[in-house]
Amino acid sequence: SRLLGAAVDEELARALGRVVESVDGGKVADGIPELADVDPDRFGVSVASVLGRVYGAGDTGVGFTIQSASKPFVYAFACETVGTDAVHRSVGVEPSGEPFNAISLDELGRPENPFINAGAIVTTSLVPAADAEERFSRIHEALSRFAGRELDVDEEVYTSEADTGHRNRALAGLALAAGSLATDDVDSATDPYFRQCSLIVTTEDLALMGATLANGGVHPLTRDRVVGERAARDTLSVMATCGMYDRSGSWAFRVGMPAKSGVGGGIVAVRPGEFGVGVFSPPLDEAGNSLRGVAMLEELSARFGLHMFDHL
């Protein structure tokens, strides 16, 4: 695409500067007490190509918790491990048009959208394991392989999530009652879910995780096949329709890239066959998406023709 043909680092720095000048405001997530402590002025962007070139501007080395941006990667791992059909029996593929913490069950008792909490907790429960610890250790390994390095858990954020996650435990309880949670022990789904949300990443990690999906499941640098092509395709399909909470429609319209946001301020976006993008800026809009992160991807999409329906 036109982005990789340009002087990428310079273009990213210029785009970052334009967004800093024109976009201000938003509100750092306060639902989880430990998340409210982050520096709101941090702002970074990274791009990783399927050929393994990594570019960036701004705060590309700053760690933040992945939060909901973990959801597509756990989804890919679940599809790979138990098969897409089994995943579909427990969780739908519909953009529910509802906020991330909505109570969501369709007429079959499945959460509609795998990328809001209800659906993501069910997806986590689908990873086969004897207990919470084993389930998280499999997810931890899979997400680390997507990043190409071993990721760490932010223990303070995890403890804070676990202490305050009553609504998430309630969502898991409703899914259990409806027959879609894959375990009858709610904590063995929510505990690994809280830990997966608390994994620390940088924009560079998110870009490489996205590039692994862009590359059909093979990490561009380690050459590790993390998931198969089918699981990568299925995950990108859901990212294209369900990745931005109740702004997924306007995102598809304005940016046109499969993506997923998290309340930590990160967004991962994918240009299939070409590259992954990771952005980070903590202040969020009303939907819980990074305000400057969204603006950055709108800027890059418009300037470099990254919308999936550009150049037809």
Q: Which is nearer to ligand GLN, 57 or 277 (CB)?
A: 277
Let me know if 260 is a catalytic residue: no
294 annotated binding-site participant? no
Let me know if 27 is a catalytic residue: no
Using DSSP's 3-state secondary structure scheme, residue 49 falls into strand
Let me know if 75 is a catalytic residue: no
DSSP 3-state percent helix, strand, coil across the chain (nearest 5): 50, 10, 40
Enumerate the H helices of the chain as residue ranges: 2-5, 8-22, 71-82, 84-90, 117-125, 132-147, 155-164, 166-178, 187-197, 203-214, 229-242, 248-254, 291-304
Residues 249-288, interacting with ligand GLN (CB under 6 A): 262-263, 288
Q: Catalytic: which of 71, 157, 158, 270?
A: 71
- Taking the CA atoms of 37, 42, 47 and 53 in sequence, report the sign of the dihedral they define: negative
The answer to whether 255 and 63 are in contact (CB under 8 A) is no
The answer to whether 66 and 266 are in contact (CB under 8 A) is yes
Let me know if 55 is a catalytic residue: no
Total residues found in the chain within this entry: 312
117 annotated binding-site participant? yes
Radius of gyration of the chain from its Cα atoms, rounded to whole angstroms: 18
Give the number of residues in contact with ligand GLN, rule: CB under 6 A.
11
Distance, CA of 231 to chain centre:
15
Enumerate the H helices of 148-186 as residue ranges: 155-164, 166-178
127 annotated binding-site participant? no
Q: In the set 46, 49, 60, 68, which binds ligand GLN (CB under 6 A)?
A: 68
Q: Which is nearer to ligand GLN, 32 or 306 (CB)?
A: 32
Q: Catalytic: which of 263, 268, 270, 294?
A: 263
Let me know if 68 is a catalytic residue: yes
Q: Which is nearer to ligand GLN, 18 or 27 (CB)?
A: 27
Q: In the set 90, 96, 117, 202, which binds ligand GLN (CB under 6 A)?
A: 117
In whole angstroms, the minimum distance from the beta carbon of 175 to ligand GLN comes to 14
In whole angstroms, the minimum distance from the beta carbon of 17 to ligand GLN comes to 27
113 annotated binding-site participant? no
CA angle in degrees (0–180, nearest 5) for 257-205-154 = 120
Q: In the set 161, 191, 205, 285, which binds ligand GLN (CB under 6 A)?
A: 161
Residues 118-157, interacting with ligand GLN (CB under 6 A): none
Q: Catalytic residue positions? A: 68, 71, 193, 245, 263
* Binding-site entries for substrate: 68, 117, 161, 168, 193, 245, 263
Q: Applying CB under 6 A, which residues contact ligand GLN?
A: 31, 67-68, 100, 117, 161, 168, 197, 262-263, 288
